[in-house]
Structure 1
Amino acid sequence: MKLKSLYLLVLFSLLFLGCKDKSAQKEPGMEAKKISYANTINPDNFKAVIEGDSVNLYTLTNKNGLKADFTNFGQRLIALHVPDKDGEMGDVVLGLPTLDAYMNGPKNNFGAVIGRYGNRIAKGKFSIGNTEYQLAKNNGENHLHGGTIGFDAVIWKVRQSGIDQIEFTRISPDMEEGYPGNLDVKVTYELTDENELKISYEATTDKATIINLTNHSYFNLKGEGKGDINDHVMMINASGYTPVDAGLIPIGTIESVEGTPFDFTSPKTIRQDLNSNHPQMVIGGGYDHNFVLNETPKNSGGLVLAARVTEPTSGRVMEVYTSEPGVQLYGGNFLNGNSTGKGGKPYMKRNAFCLETQHFPDSPNQPDFPGTLLKPGEIYKSTTVYKFDVVK
């Protein structure tokens, strides 16, 4: 009986070891692909304590290897790595390599949240009822992107709920930059497994105020620092746009894009009409205009397709979906080389474009534009999705 028991013990041990070895073997093609990211950000370059508030670098990833880096200073998207047609990752947003460069270098809005009001307000004035409010004039005689110290230049509280989602919160105090009401703001970023960067804005106030939040990322689908964006092929789903005066303030009308350089209803290169002598192109020094979005088509989440951009060399495609009525196309006209990016190259004129989803500029002073008033008891909500794909 002892020999039989010993025989069974040895047999069981051999079977167990055999199963263990088999389970440890990898099936052909199952080896994990090592993903390489160019110009990886050093987290130590973004660690600081400023007036008692901690600043850090935060990273989101999805199952496909997309990666997004944020700092809670200005709630900025610093880097966004997405694949090209060969599966190689590339960083497609402009950004700076250190916190110090954002705080103490030339003023910029690279990747930042913009508020309380994205874009321009004429002469920095607006009224709610019989009360007139005066904001900072930080763009000639006008107010731009929230003022002298907007949402892009303050520290946000952070809660990262997983590898693919992060939430930024802040209370903007009553009369900050001249805006009435204590505004409680929450912005959530999610990097989905469908290769979408989804941005969800939410806010409440204790006093009637105006609000128009957006993200000011600069995109180059070839990769940041890799030249101009003029050969990107762009479609903007808009039949109308809002012409501007010499100060880039809307004159109050909505005009058809048909027959103008602003007609992107059929895909064309950004370069195609860039040197047009159309008066609006002369005023803007290129594209820096608000487009009035059509109401269809929509994605499965009910968001309107605002734009689709393709970069022929890399094969990268970016689609923009939004709940907002407008989108600002900015062609990087004022980039001048005074900021050096993550790859060590200066950002020159038209090295990137922006597609800023929004309510229209100067809406508080334009009764025919969609309103931006937020009252106590109401909840401001806005959603924008940047979705990435490739064409072979």
Structure 2
Amino acid sequence: MLVVIPFILAAGSLSTLVSGAPVPSTFSARNAFASLRSLVERNSDTYTTYGGDGLVSQGWPAQSDWVSSFDTMLFNNNKGIMTSSCSEWNVADNSDSEITDIYNGIKTVSAESGVDARFILAIILQESNGCVRVPTTNWGVRNPGLMQDHNGAATCNENGVQNPCPADTITQMIRDGTEGTSSGDGLKQCLAESKATDVSMYYKAARIFNSGSIDSSGNLGAGVATHCYASDVANRLTGWVYATHTCSESSIGSMTGTVTATTGGGDTTNPGDNTHTPTVTPTTVVPTVTPTIVVPTQVGDSTPSSTKAPGASASCKGWYTVQSGDYCGIVEQKFGVTMAQLQSWNTQLLSDCSNLWLGYSYCVSA
């Protein structure tokens, strides 16, 4: 079986129906292996081709099938890709602090807009693989930043490359793509335009974000721009990271129902439409690799700091005091534990890790 690294498909310019060009990328085997080795936990890393109108009745995933938490989706599933995606444009890869800034930016904008943080992250991955220095594209409409938004102000790669990419610029990239700009809509507006009240609103909004509209047939794979876009986003939301991409751009527009990949590959081209999205084939095939998970020998300190986290286990055997820049993913990797374990030992720790407080000691072994 071959592993095809997911490729970047840029958003459309939305209201004008002019798609932004794909940002070409060939995610190297070297980076793929490094990312796989660093992976600690994934949900369901398979690719299912979703055809039709985005309804659960046609096989599309219910929201309960999504990766359970934003932290898991970013730090456990996709951090490996985000750590090494920028090198494909010969610019510096994301630093840990820049990935933390992406995390904080998504959380901020999600709270502002009401748009699910996991959905924002799925679009960022689809558009730029999370590279803060992704080039600004312009194929009739300028598309900058992490979400290749509609003529937004924020970018770290246009008329020069910024390294480091400032935290406020990263947040503004996410805000422009989620809340829209004066020139075009963001995810918030696309969700409203979907006119759906069930989970299909996300898949329809993804299609609108990419191409500016949904085909009159209602099929999310028909019409212009990137036909597999909504299917790709649905897969990212349910845990797809490295599994073979099997959606066929040439046939998904006439398909209803689902096809789950087992072995082999599918059509991984991004032909788009001559008027909207130029043809590119930005995939790299690498051999199948089984990641080796090394459990650290660290078990934590025998005594906590003066301040225990609320809800920490009274029978805790190992403690960790949170340092600047920490998040749940780092703690999980450092001590070889899962988010579920952390929450069982620290009963007031929220699933989105928003109350992992600096200077507090949390139980990491019991």
TM over 0.5: no
TM-score, length of structure 2 as denominator length: 0.26
- Structure richer in strand, relative to its length: 1
Higher relative contact order (CA 8 A, sep 6+): 2
- Structure richer in helix, relative to its length: 2
Which protein has the larger Cα radius of gyration, Structure 1 or Structure 2? Answer: 1
